[in-house]
Structure 1
Amino acid sequence: MYGGLLERMNMVNMVFRTDQWFKILLLCLLTCKTGGVYITTNESTQVYGVVESWHKPNIMNYTIDINRYNLDLSGITSLLFKIKACDSAHVLLSTSDVRNSSKPLYEIIMGYFSDSSYIIYRAGSTHDTWFSIPNILNCTVYLPFWISWASGDIKLGTGVVVGENILGNFKNTTHFEVRSIGVFTDRGTLGNWTIRVEVSDKFAGYFDSCSMSNTKSDVVVVDDIKCSGIRCATSCGMSQTCMGFNFNSVMNRCELLSFGSNDVTDIPHHTEADWRFYSKCYNGKTACLGCY
């Protein structure tokens, strides 16, 4: 028991490095939590013509993928968003992480021809439930909604608390795991969305510089220390609140970074000589929050 513990503790100082990424060989880091960080994305959508999954085999081609950071969505079961649109707002939940329209999907339509809303399940054939809610959307005001899909019970509701103010639901006995989410507005309607997605709580043990030399991130600096790159990466990896670090290889200066709040709308950068920003990565090496 103690031999295994000492072995894991000694691994703290073992770090492999290339020009673009650090990998920390520290087993306990694989379960460190981010502290409930959410990425908030703003999108505008406008598709001309009538588009819905009843008649469009390639429906995912019309959507904007909300997952700009390539997060692992398979672990989440709800979505919070606000939308400003006159009508015809669509949210698609797909089992395909490459947005393959032939894979099973759910489509939630709000304000279809103004007063009808639908929850659709498509897997070869389509099944749906309909509910009439006049004036569900607003042309000039952002309105809050939530969608949940735990255990195949697909629900649409209003407000910012998942489970409250349910507008309609659809029970799917052949439940699937949602891996990608897309949104759009059709019939020429302009839709403005603010969408909140939870970040996976598992740090993969990687830091990626996103191939951006001479770059610093402008988020909150929680600690500024003089040390090696190895120690800088290890210090950030052992912190639940650290999302990445700026490192200056000339001065051996390390800035540990935090989002500063639970909601992140952007990760700003600026150019500065000899600095390099390294983002903490989740979902293997594919979801690094500073890379886009």
Structure 2
Amino acid sequence: MVRVLLILKCLMSVGTTTQLSVTTTAIDSMLLADTGVFRSEYKSFLFSVKGCRDAHLKLLSHETEVRQYYQVLIGGWGNSMSMLSIIMDGITNVDSSNSSEMDCDVYKQFWISWDQDVIKVGRGNATGDDVFLLYEDRCSFSIKNIQISGGSDWNLDLAKVDWIMYSTPFIHAPVPTGNGYTVNVYKEMFCYTFDELRSVQMPSKVKCGIECAVELSCSGFLYYNDSKLCEMMSYDAFTYTTTAYYRKQLQI
């Protein structure tokens, strides 16, 4: 079972940050939304790990481990490599780093972010700094939960990973314009099947695109010329089966 050193009713608050400490081993896993340190509105997450190797994190598209998700492995292959992967109907490794990131005796701090179609993993407590894993996913999906676990080894001491998770209050920040990110084009591409936001009648594909552009929760759209139906899609991935969309492209 998961050894919870500081369970939900004993969460520590340090300033505006809530902190949760847990230990996982080879057969353990924990869903962070269940503990109160993660919310689906977050676009980044801070944590510290102590262990000899194999700290696993899964960025889930649903509340539990189903369908597609991003997988982050820190200190894999005997603490010689870290890996970022996408899991759909199979596993696709999208970036790796040949470096020793874990320490058996000392906590090392890391961050993960998933915003503007880019997944990043870095060292330290400043999100955006010292990146060692990165992938641009033009079909990115919203993250509903994070699952953590230790490695797989007959020696449970080697498989054990101590975690400290940090949660800060969520502040909603809309997509900026001007010198920041702005929606400037749509690109027709095959993506995962996303949940539908809503359907409306629009006189043209251009009008459908404008309607989607002004709605932050719209990831793209389908337009049917015969019926003039505009289907706007969310960022919530429904299945890994692909569908052709006009997908929002965010560019500086």
Q: Give the structure-2-normalised TM-score.
A: 0.56
Tell me the secondary structure at the aligned position of residue 67 of structure 1.
Answer: helix
Deviations 1:152-205 (A, max 9, x none): 311110011000001120111111111111111112311000011234469xxx
**Maintained 8 Å contact 2:82/2:99:** no
Which residues in structure 2 correspond to 1:67-146 (within 5 Å)?
67-70=33-36, 73-97=39-63, 99=64, 101-113=65-77, 114-146=79-111
The alignment yields a C-alpha RMSD, in angstroms, of 2.1
| Residue equivalent to 2:163 | 193
Aligned length: 152
Q: For residues 75 and 121 of structure 1, do their structure 2 counterparts lie closer, same or farther at Cα, with a shift above 3 Å needed?
A: same
Which residues in structure 2 correspond to 1:146-225 (within 5 Å)?
146-188=111-153, 189-200=159-170
Q: For residues 143 and 72 of structure 1, do their structure 2 counterparts lie closer, same or farther at Cα, with a shift above 3 Å needed?
A: closer
Letter of the 1:77 counterpart: K
**Maintained 8 Å contact 1:116/1:130:** no
Q: For residues 89 and 72 of structure 1, do their structure 2 counterparts lie closer, same or farther at Cα, with a shift above 3 Å needed?
A: closer
Q: CA deviation at 1:125?
A: 3.1
Q: For residues 162 and 201 of structure 1, do their structure 2 counterparts lie closer, same or farther at Cα, with a shift above 3 Å needed?
A: closer
| Residue equivalent to 1:44 | 23
Structure 2 CA distance, aligned partners of 1:144 and 1:200? 20
Structure 2 CA distance, aligned partners of 1:143 and 1:70? 22
**Maintained 8 Å contact 2:97/2:133:** no
Q: CA deviation at 1:129?
A: 2.2
Structure 1 CA distance, aligned partners of 2:124 and 2:95? 20
**Maintained 8 Å contact 1:76/1:198:** no
Q: Name the one with the larger strand percent.
A: 2
Structure 2 CA distance, aligned partners of 1:117 and 1:180? 21
Deviations 1:66-122 (A, max 9, x none): 23445772211111011001011111110112x1x2322111001111211111111
Deviations 1:18-50 (A, max 9, x none): xxxxxxxxxxxxxxxxxx9332110100015xx
* Greater relative contact order (Cα < 8 A, sep 6+): 1
Q: For residues 158 and 43 of structure 1, do their structure 2 counterparts lie closer, same or farther at Cα, with a shift above 3 Å needed?
A: same
**Maintained 8 Å contact 1:107/1:120:** yes
Structure 2 CA distance, aligned partners of 1:89 and 1:155? 16
Q: Give the structure-1-normalised TM-score.
A: 0.48
**Maintained 8 Å contact 1:71/1:200:** no
Letter of the 1:177 counterpart: S
Structure 2 unmatched ranges of 5 or more:
1-14, 154-158, 173-252
- Over the matched positions of the two proteins, sequence identity in percent amounts to 20
